[in-house]
């Protein structure tokens, strides 16, 4: 339980830092948010709990493939907002698009040889 609390606290602190930076420096906050901090921390936690090279390699490769369907959201949300849509509906549509693309990745990926 203490390790879980450490993981949760560190992850929360990172999110708080990013949102605080983004209020004052939007581009710098975006840069920090775009860093694969969550993925790296996740790999560190996973390695600590299960130091298995094959498992880690599979996790890291699957992470790469799952990042791709999430990227269009970061273009859709600002495009919708620039065309007058409010933040919450734009975020909802961006998230919905991401879910659809994730489903497509998990359905089509294995058929074309992508290990997801």
* This prediction's pTM: 0.78
Nearest to 47 by CA among 7, 77, 78: 7
Determine the Cα angle at 107 with ends 102 and 113, to 5°: 105
Kindly report, residue by residue over 11-26, the tens digit of the pLDDT: 889 889 889 989 999 9
3-class SS of residue 112? helix
C-alpha pair distances (Å), 85 with each of 3, 5, 33, 88, 101: 42, 38, 23, 8, 22
User: Do the Cβ atoms of 46 and 59 come closer than 8 Å?
Assistant: yes
Q: In residues, how long is the chain?
A: 116
Q: What percent of the chain has pLDDT over 70?
A: 100
Q: How far apart are CA 16 and CA 27, in angstroms?
A: 16
Q: Which of 25, 31, 13 is nearest to 74 (CA)?
A: 31
Give the mean pLDDT of 102-107: 95
116 has pLDDT over 90: no
């Amino acid at each position: 339980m203490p390790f879980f609390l450490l993981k949760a606290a560190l992850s929360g602190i990172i999110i708080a830092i990013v949102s605080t930076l983004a209020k004052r420096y939007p581009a710098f906050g975006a840069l920090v948010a775009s860093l694969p901090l969550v993925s790296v921390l996740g790999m560190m936690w996973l390695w600590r709990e299960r130091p298995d090279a094959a498992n880690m390699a599979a996790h890291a490769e699957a992470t790469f493939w799952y990042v791709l369907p999430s990227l269009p959201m970061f273009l859709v949300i600002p495009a919708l907002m620039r065309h007058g849509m409010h933040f919450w509906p734009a975020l909802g549509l961006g998230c919905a698009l991401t879910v659809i693309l994730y489903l497509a990745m998990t359905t089509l990926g294995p058929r074309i040889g992508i290990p997801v």
